[in-house]
């Protein structure tokens, strides 16, 4: 292994490996030598109970950041939505590569589909829908207060197995994870325009040491300007609302012709109250757009909803 080998740190789940392998392939195409180092995180170690119970932000990312700072890896490949917005001293987000779908997807159990329920609207009254995310839960209940939303944890394959085992009538997962794992065919309904996704969903965040210009320059060649700007706006809104990854908060920005259109919403945990703001701004001012949208939400009373959740 030469000195210039880029060592990529990743979690060991099949999705995390797919993402790290994809980045490795792209860097090799650019002529770099790359090695992959698997790291176990607190989020992977805890297999039961709601994700909120782990208590802290960054359960999937902290150990990898520690390995970066310790110098045992050079580049972290994170799911951007799992990466806290608070900057980590000594580290930089070097690039956001081409984004996969930012949207959520509904997967309905086959016998329910056979019974004619192939969309969120057509699920029977009181149907059981599984998700581990307070954002998805609140939006599901906002749209369908009759649904019984149950907890769902584990990696993508585990969650699909729990659906098949009959624990739920339907589950909600990120379309990006399903597509990357070759499971697009499992999607019953795309929830684009129905549920607002998490900030950064579907995007990767490539992080390296702030003083490692060689790795930062290599990573930067994978950067997609539009996707970086869109996720910057989404994450700026999240940071301003201080919701962390556990808030019932959705944000999605669409980039078109050097313009960003950002939608963000904050809900009460039960979904009975919902605030939404839509604004546009120049791509080059993504951070400011996110902050402006967050301020508009705060002016509508978003802080009270977020505090309720934290109490």
Ligand X SMILES: NCc1[nH]cc(CCC(=O)O)c1CC(=O)O
- Residues at the site binding ligand X, with contacts judged by CB under 6 A: 79, 81-82, 173-174, 176-177, 201-202
Per the annotation, the verdict on 74 as an active-site residue is no
Q: How far is the CB of 33 from ligand X (least distance, A)?
A: 26
Nearer to ligand X, 41 or 215 (CB): 41
Q: How far is the CB of 56 from ligand X (least distance, A)?
A: 14
Nearer to ligand X, 26 or 33 (CB): 26
Q: How far is the CB of 171 from ligand X (least distance, A)?
A: 9
Nearer to ligand X, 19 or 216 (CB): 19
Spatial neighbors of 294 by CB under 8 A, at least 6 apart, are 236, 237, 238, 239, 240, 241, 264, 302
Ramachandran angles phi, psi of 81, nearest 5°: -70, -15
Long-range pairs, 297-305, Cβ under 8 A, ≥24: 297/237, 297/241, 297/264, 297/265, 297/266, 298/240, 298/241, 300/275, 301/275, 302/241, 302/266, 302/275, 305/248, 305/266, 305/267, 305/268, 305/273, 305/275
Strand boundaries in 181-248, DSSP class E: 189-190, 204-209
Active-site residue, selected from the candidate residues 82, 104, 169, 227 = 82
Q: State the DSSP string of 160-174.
A: HHHHHTTS-SEEEEE
Q: How far is the CB of 173 from ligand X (least distance, A)?
A: 4
Nearer to ligand X, 112 or 252 (CB): 252
Q: How far is the CB of 235 from ligand X (least distance, A)?
A: 13
* DSSP letter (8 states) at residue 252: E
Q: Is 65 in contact with 88 (CB distance < 8 Å)?
A: yes
Nearer to ligand X, 82 or 226 (CB): 82
Give catalytic residues, as residue numbers. 82
């Amino acid at each position: 292994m030469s000195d210039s080998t880029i060592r990529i740190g990743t979690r060991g789940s099949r999705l995390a490996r797919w993402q790290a392998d994809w980045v490795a392939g792209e860097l090799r195409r650019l002529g770099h030598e790359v090695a992959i180092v698997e790291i176990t995180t607190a989020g992977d170690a805890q297999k039961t109970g709601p994700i909120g119970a782990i208590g802290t932000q960054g359960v999937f990312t902290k150990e990898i950041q520690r390995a970066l700072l310790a110098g045992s890896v050079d580049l972290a490949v994170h799911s951007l939505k799992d990466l806290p917005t608070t900057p980590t001293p000594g580290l930089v987000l070097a690039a956001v590569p081409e984004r996969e779908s930012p949207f959520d997807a509904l997967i309905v159990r086959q016998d329910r589909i056979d019974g004619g329920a192939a969309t969120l609207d057509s699920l029977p009254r009181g149907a059981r829908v599984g998700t581990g995310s307070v954002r998805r839960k609140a939006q599901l209940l906002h749209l369908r207060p009759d649904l019984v939303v149950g907890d769902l944890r584990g990696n993508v394959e585990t969650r699909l197995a729990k659906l098949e085992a009959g624990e739920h009538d339907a589950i909600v997962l990120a379309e990006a994870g399903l597509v990357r794992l070759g499971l697009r065919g499992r999607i019953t309904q795309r929830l684009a325009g129905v549920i607002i996704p998490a900030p950064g969903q579907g995007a990767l965040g490539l992080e390296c040491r702030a003083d490692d210009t060689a790795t930062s320059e290599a990573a930067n060649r994978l950067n997609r300007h539009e996707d970086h700007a869109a996720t910057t706006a989404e994450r700026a809104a999240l940071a301003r609302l201080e919701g962390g990854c556990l808030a019932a908060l959705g944000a999605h920005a669409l980039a078109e012709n050097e313009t960003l259109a950002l939608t963000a919403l904050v809900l009460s945990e039960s979904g009975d109250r919902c605030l939404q703001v839509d604004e546009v701004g120049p791509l080059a001012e993504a951070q400011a757009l996110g902050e402006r949208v967050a301020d508009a939400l705060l002016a509508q009373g978003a802080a009270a909803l977020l505090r309720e959740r934290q109490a």
